[in-house]
Amino acid sequence: MDQGHKKGLDIAPADGKLGILLVGLGAVSTTLIAGVEAIKRGIAEPIGSLTQMGTIRLGKRTDDRVPAIKDLVPLTPLDDVIFGAWDIFPDNAFEAAMKAGVLERALIDQVSEPLASVEPMPAVFEQNFVKRLHGTNIKSGSSKMDLAEQLMADIARFKDEKGCSRLVMVWAASTEIFLEEAEVHLSLDAFERGLYDSDPRIAPSMIYAYAAVRSGVPFANGAPNLTLDIPAITELAERERVPICGKDFKTGQTLMKTILAPGLKARMLGLEGWYSTNILGNRDGEVLDDPENFRTKEESKLSVLEHILQPDVYPELYKDFAHVVRINYYPPRGDNKEGWDNIDTFGWLGYKMQIKIDFLCRDSILAAPLALDLALFMDLAKRAGMKGIQEWLSFYFKAPQTAPGLYPEHDLFIQLMKLKNTLRYICGEELITHLGLEYYD
Ligand SMILES: NC(=O)c1ccc[n+]([C@@H]2O[C@H](COP(=O)([O-])OP(=O)(O)OC[C@H]3O[C@@H](n4cnc5c(N)ncnc54)[C@H](O)[C@@H]3O)[C@@H](O)[C@H]2O)c1
């Protein structure tokens, strides 16, 4: 990156309305919509959202320039945000929020009108990918290409009817079964042939991603599905100059892991094992109770420690540590997940210690602000002419998408530095290295 790049990128203004198209109108999506509507009305604060509450230091520490991020970069104001969605169930966002059971009735009632106005469009769905759910609000088509074209028509109609000047799409639908990259994913040509042939290895989430990118709409993947991580979609995103990013919102347990593990490594403390278990009772938990769907989540959750701790570089500290992740579907807890971690660590002379974490969290309360930030930053990226994989948004993901051959950065603090330096870069501000020697010259 060019440190002398003083001008910044040319950023188109955030004029007009931004439509946020949500795939899946479940717990995360309805918590996001209700939250944004409550914040717009001054009923609540946007806690957990970097775009709404975060600041960014510019220049030297002595310059005293610390604007809000939303004052540095032209983000769409919440008043200009409107929502659309697809779901396999016909419930509008009010009904879906009531069923999700995340928010209190009193809050939902105050935003019932805008919630009820979000009616899900019929979804592209294939039972094989999510066996536990049985919906009725589903498109039929002669081929997967036909379904993609129906989605593109939905996108164009929504934009026109709601008078949006720009759109972004966020996948907040269920986790699909585990899928490995196959021949049909390896090029755009093969993928498009596969769409015409309704190839069984093309997942519904890939059809949404294809439709979004072909429509020029940035796509963020909040679930651990393969969706965007295939050459066909990255090639399309480059060609259409559309930003994409994923995958899997980094919320409860993995957030804690990527906060703590860098700390252990920073102090050269060893790790013998990390055992993580969760009890969760929402619809997401029900879907993840199916071993094929859980495998997709497990792969995403397991990847973080290896990358942060670098056992190859530090074999005395991290070689062969045990890492186990479990999710147990336990209906009484609903969305209020409990995540337990037992960490077996060791210090000076190999003496053993343990750390226990019991995070009584709320899944969708943690995820909603991430979905909002991603939508607003992806729209900014598009207006700034950024295209393809947006690695600077790794901060939000359990398994950040990177260029082929590049390992992902999982350390939350490096991710934040990367995000903020990218914002500085976009605006032509000096990048901050935290060197600090200049203060002592
Ligand atoms: N909440 C978190 O902390 C968190 C963190 C990381 C990832 N996620 C992921 O985000 C996603 C959403 O989570 P949630 O708690 O809102 O789940 P949810 O089950 O409440 O909502 C998902 C919705 O997607 C719908 N759906 C399923 N397949 C669809 C399709 N093909 N098209 C359109 N709609 C479809 C379902 O009917 C459901 O209403 C899940 O994949 C979850 O794993 C959530």
Taking the CA of residue 205 as reference, the ligand 1 atom at the shortest distance is 31
Q: Does some domain include residue 28? A: yes
Q: Does some domain include residue 433? A: no
Q: Does some domain include residue 435? A: no
Closest CA to 133 of 293, 363, 334, 297: 293
Same domain, 150 and 273: no
Same domain, 91 and 192: yes
Residue 248: its pLDDT value, please? 94
Same domain, 234 and 345: no
Q: Measured between alpha carbons, how far is 275 from 18 in angstroms, rounded to an integer?
A: 42
Q: Does some domain include residue 264? A: yes
Q: Whose CA is nearest to atom 32 of ligand 1?
A: 123
Please tell me the distance between residue 123's alpha carbon and the centre of ligand 1 in angstroms. Answer: 13
Q: Is any ligand 1 atom within 6 A of the Cβ of residue 296?
A: no
Token look-up 């699909």 returns 176
Cβ contact 218:244 at 8 Å: yes
Residue 290: its pLDDT value, please? 82
Last residue of a domain, one of 360, 376, 398: 360
Same domain, 346 and 232: no
Same domain, 209 and 66: yes
Taking the CA of residue 288 as reference, the ligand 1 atom at the shortest distance is 43
Same domain, 201 and 278: no
The number of domains in the chain is 2
Q: Which residue from 174, 206, 247 has its CB within 8 A of the most atoms of ligand 1, so it is best to mutate?
A: 174
Q: Does some domain include residue 5? A: no
Taking the CA of residue 286 as reference, the ligand 1 atom at the shortest distance is 19
SS3 content of the chain, % helix, strand, coil (to 5): 45, 20, 40
Same domain, 188 and 208: yes
Tell me, what CATH number does 304's domain have? 3.30.360.10
Q: Is any ligand 1 atom within 6 A of the Cβ of residue 173?
A: yes
Please tell me the distance between residue 230's alpha carbon and the centre of ligand 1 in angstroms. Answer: 21
Q: Does some domain include residue 60? A: yes
Token look-up 């396999």 returns 88
Same domain, 131 and 56: yes
DSSP for 243-257 reads EEEE--B--SHHHHH
Same domain, 47 and 142: yes
Q: Is any ligand 1 atom within 6 A of the Cβ of residue 88?
A: yes
Q: Is any ligand 1 atom within 6 A of the Cβ of residue 125?
A: yes
Q: Whose CA is nearest to atom 31 of ligand 1?
A: 125
Same domain, 238 and 327: no
Q: Is any ligand 1 atom within 6 A of the Cβ of residue 207?
A: no
Last residue of a domain, one of 337, 360, 383: 360
Token look-up 């094989």 returns 128
Tell me, what CATH number does 392's domain have? 3.40.50.720
Residue 5: its pLDDT value, please? 54
Q: Is any ligand 1 atom within 6 A of the Cβ of residue 282?
A: yes
Please tell me the distance between residue 93's alpha carbon and the centre of ligand 1 in angstroms. Answer: 14
Q: Measured between alpha carbons, how far is 166 from 168 in angstroms, rounded to an integer?
A: 7
Q: Measured between alpha carbons, how far is 11 from 95 in angstroms, rounded to an integer?
A: 38
Please tell me the distance between residue 315's alpha carbon and the centre of ligand 1 in angstroms. Answer: 38
Last residue of a domain, one of 360, 394, 413: 360
Q: Is any ligand 1 atom within 6 A of the Cβ of residue 204?
A: yes
Which residue segment(s) compose the domain that 316 sits in? Answer: 253-360
Q: Is any ligand 1 atom within 6 A of the Cβ of residue 284?
A: yes
Strands 270-280 and 338-346: antiparallel
Please tell me the distance between residue 141's alpha carbon and the centre of ligand 1 in angstroms. Answer: 23
Q: Does some domain include residue 262? A: yes
Per-residue pLDDT of the chain (441 residues; tens, 9 = 90+): 444 456 899 999 999 999 999 999 999 999 999 999 999 999 999 999 999 999 999 999 899 999 999 999 999 999 999 999 999 999 999 999 999 999 999 999 999 999 999 999 999 999 999 998 899 999 999 999 999 999 999 999 999 999 999 999 999 999 999 999 999 999 999 999 999 999 999 999 999 999 999 999 999 999 999 999 999 999 999 999 999 999 999 998 899 999 999 999 999 999 999 999 989 888 878 887 888 888 877 776 777 898 899 999 999 999 999 999 988 899 998 888 899 999 999 999 999 999 999 999 999 999 999 999 999 999 999 999 999 999 999 999 999 999 999 989 999 999 999 999 999 999 999 999 888 888 888
Q: Whose CA is nearest to atom 3 of ligand 1?
A: 363
What b/e string do you get for 286-305 counting C-beta neighbours within 10 Å, with b at 16 or more? bbbebeebbbbbbbbbbbbb
Q: Does some domain include residue 194? A: yes
Same domain, 298 and 370: no
Same domain, 226 and 280: no
Please tell me the distance between residue 289's alpha carbon and the centre of ligand 1 in angstroms. Answer: 14
